[in-house]
Amino acid sequence: MKKLFNQITKIQTGLFAKPLGEGDVIYLQVKHFDENGQLQSALHGDLLSDYISEKHLLKNGDVLFAAKGSKNFATVFEDHNKPAVASTSFFVIRPTNKKVLPQYLAWFLNSHSTLTLLKSQAIGSSIPSISKQVLENLEVAVPSIEIQKTILEIAKLRIIEQKLKQEIEALREKQIQQQIINALQ
């Protein structure tokens, strides 16, 4: 069954704030993630909660989509006890339908075909930006929860496979270099 994103989610923009360098609220920015949406740096509080509206605080399972610039990705926010907000580089996508897993939405947004489609509709030349309207009108296939979980497991195994291939290639290169050194001696 296909649905539009705005039928199964609530989408809001991140918060515009100037990080203070200290505080009790984490201010998530694109620089904290790699191009695959994996957290790359230790997080610490950058903002004071006194100035943050409740509606901007992230909830476990919110999908963050980096919509500005050339580094577009989706990731699922996991609550690690410290309150957090997303910067304006992100759309915060909150599933409203219990039949859709946040991880599935992130996988869908990260798929090559979806990213290609979204990037083709980005506006702006120096800093391309994907609009909220484009995201809301994005059509997504919503299979059963079981199939969503299977898709996610396959995607996870594919990532493991790719890492193993890279490790094998690095070891093969090392072996060849050692054989060359041995032949020269």
Render 18-69 in DSSP notation, one character per residue.
---S-SSEEEE-GGGB-TTS-B-S---EEE-GGG--GGGS--TTPEEEE-BS
pLDDT digits (tens, 9 = 90+) for 6-20: 999 999 999 988 888
At residue 124, the pLDDT reads: 82
Domain ranges of the chain: 2-141, 143-185
Q: What is the CATH number of domain 2-141?
A: 3.90.220.20
Average pLDDT of span 89-110 = 94
User: Is residue 42 over pLDDT 80?
Assistant: no
Give the strand pairing for 84-86 and 25-28: parallel
